[in-house]
Structure 1
Amino acid sequence: MKSARTLWLGSLALASLVASAQTTLPAVKVTAPAYSSQHGGYLISGDFKVDPRMPSVVFPAQALVKDDILSIEPIHLQDNEYLVLQECASADCHEASLVRFWKSDDVGGNDARHNRVWITHENKYFIWLKRLPEVSGVSCGQGWLKFDASTTKCGGHFTSFQQISPPLMLIPEGDLAAFHQDALQKAIQADPVHVAQQTHEGSTYVVTYEGGSTVRIRRMHAAHDN
């Protein structure tokens, strides 16, 4: 007849095996990296960060690859601020290409498509915030009166920029830029706005810049390629 101690040790070993088996159950198996989740067939990640050596630049912790979808949603931008997505246009990133930009008019609204960028090739992508001179947008200097028929209406924001430029440089083009050329020269050379705070809300990266402007960023990729 087995002793009570032998039975107790056997029960303890069995309990240990059961506990070990439970850690491999699907309900507790970790399938997504940090700051990530799965939803609607997509792996959604907020794994972005700021390099301390470049306190104004947000970039993905892992390089973006083909068929990634980058979601960039400005929550608040000041009237003179432009949120910029650039990618390297040369191997040493001596030149950069403008992928997309956002201004205060683009905040909110029901059309989320403008906030989603389809990545067609692997490359180094980076996000930053630039302040340019405020413009009235009433005219570009043609016509004497505000409501004169000859007055050229240019809008309240710069809307056209050089496609290729040095990284972290946003260079406006067009009539509005030409009219404000003197004020633009100094602003173009100025550093981008520094990041004041960064945090993760689940699988969403939230960055706040000096001055209070806030942006929510996510990276999405199909969980199973067809």
Structure 2
Amino acid sequence: MKHALISSGLVLASLAASAQTTLPAVNVVAPPFSSQHGGYLISGDFKLDPRMPSVVFPAQALVKDDILSIEPVHLQDNEYLILQECASADCHEASLVRFWSADDIGGDNTRHNRVWITHENKYFLWLKRLPDVSGQSCGQGWFKFDPNTTKCGGHFTSFQQISPPLMLIPSGDLAAYHQDALQKAIQADPVLVAKQTHEGSTYVVTYGGGSTVRVRRMHATKDNRQAD
């Protein structure tokens, strides 16, 4: 009887060992291109739309209370960096969320370049070139050199809120005085992306012409949300 119990024990031990060796391995993998800091998961998980090589979008949909950090390192005087979101279910219309021009980059002011996401939606980033109006006024012909002529600034600063996606339509006085030049520019395609890479948890995109933008998503971790 004793020998039978010992034999049974050996068989059970052998079966247990066999079962242990067949258990699937468990790999804990962090989200790609991410790090954690100050209660936030910081991610550079963005990519190009393969059908539209000028459009950058997050690999995971943005949700309420996410923060986008969009830092243009350099923009040409005639370039505008655009963040849009879908304004209809089929995205045939888009809403302008934020834009940056060469004189509105923000520099070391990181808060200036942060966008608070108020609702889940499809968001996308792209670069547009419009006519260079640096130093021009709202006057026409020789009158633009008259010191009494109304000055409109060197960049377009107001745009239609709702437009087709990947279309930026300036409005205001400066746009009114440059209608002819704007018509062709508005219909032109966005600037193509020349290079994309990841530097840790930051997505870095370089457009044709050399303009570079650094993009990160900040998503509150569970502990940080509970603290709020």
Contact 1:137 1:176 in 2 (8 A): no
Indicate the residue corresponding to 2:81 in structure 1.
83
User: Aligned partners of 1:84 and 1:136: how far apart in 2?
Assistant: 19
User: Aligned partners of 2:220 and 2:134: how far apart in 1?
Assistant: 44
Equivalent in 64, 70, 73 of residue 71 of structure 2: 73
Q: CA deviation at 1:146?
A: 2.9
Contact 1:71 1:217 in 2 (8 A): yes
Q: Percent same amino acid among aligned pairs? A: 82
Indicate the residue corresponding to 1:140 in structure 2.
138
Structure 1: runs of 5 or more not aligned: 1-16, 18-22
Q: CA RMSD in A?
A: 1.9
Indicate the residue corresponding to 1:43 in structure 2.
41
Counterpart of 1:114 in 2: which secondary structure?
Answer: helix
Structure 2: runs of 5 or more not aligned: 1-19
Indicate the residue corresponding to 2:100 in structure 1.
102
Q: CA deviation at 1:106?
A: 2.0
Alignment of 1:101-140 (within 5 A): 101-140=99-138
Indicate the residue corresponding to 1:57 in structure 2.
55
Contact 1:64 1:125 in 2 (8 A): yes
Alignment of 1:8-19 (within 5 A): none
Q: CA deviation at 1:144?
A: 2.4
User: Aligned partners of 1:179 and 1:57: how far apart in 2?
Assistant: 30
Indicate the residue corresponding to 1:201 in structure 2.
199
Alignment TM-score, normalising by the size of structure 2: 0.83
Counterpart of 1:155 in 2: which secondary structure?
Answer: coil
| 1:145-170 deviations in Å (ceiling 9; x for gaps) | 63522x11111000000000000000
User: Aligned partners of 2:112 and 2:162: how far apart in 1?
Assistant: 21
| 1:110-140 deviations in Å (ceiling 9; x for gaps) | 3222210000100000000000000034310
Counterpart of 2:197 in 1: which secondary structure?
Answer: strand
Contact 1:32 1:43 in 2 (8 A): no
Contact 2:136 2:144 in 1 (8 A): no
Indicate the residue corresponding to 1:220 in structure 2.
218
Which protein shows a greater Rg? Answer: 2
Q: CA deviation at 1:108?
A: 4.5
Contact 2:137 2:144 in 1 (8 A): no
Q: CA deviation at 1:39?
A: 0.7
Counterpart of 2:143 in 1: which secondary structure?
Answer: coil
Counterpart of 1:38 in 2: which secondary structure?
Answer: strand
User: Aligned partners of 2:162 and 2:109: how far apart in 1?
Assistant: 28
